[in-house]
Amino acid sequence: MDISDLITPEGVMVPLKVTSKKQALQAMARCAAHVTGENERTIFDILLERERLGTTGVGNGIAIPHGRLPALTGMHGVFARLARPINFDAIDEQPVDLIFLLLAPESAGADHLKALARVSRLLRDRAMCEKLRGTDTPEALYGLLISNRASQAA
């Protein structure tokens, strides 16, 4: 599975100017609603519900919020580089500035897990994260996200 299967240029937000986890999830739910055609509030509620189970702040300044929506027919992603890092209740207690939101159909099962693993591999690459943090346009960020094929084999 390629990152290009998950995200479109319209799903890249930079710089996202928010001051809290809730604001970040609201802004990303708004973008995800535009990309998917689904209801913004439904997306936001699913993301909040998932966060209540445990943080999706995976450490090293990265969060991967995710959820499943019954009406979706495919996987969708939204990526944001924040203007300033925020508290995301990450497992390493460090602020987050890179967020990859992943939405999957309710029936996705293993495909959802594969997509999460793919996003996780991409964002575990420290060199890639440095490039993402140093890029200021949505087009350039999108190009970086979809061009990193080296970590696919991992």
Give the catalytic positions in this structure: 66
The burial of 131, by beta-carbon neighbours within 10 Å (0-12 exposed, 13-18 middle, 19 or more buried), is given as middle
In the beta sheet, which residues pair with residue 13? 80
Q: Which of 64, 67, 70 is nearest to 105 (CA)?
A: 70
| Angle subtended by helix axes 126-133 and 110-124, to nearest 10 | 80
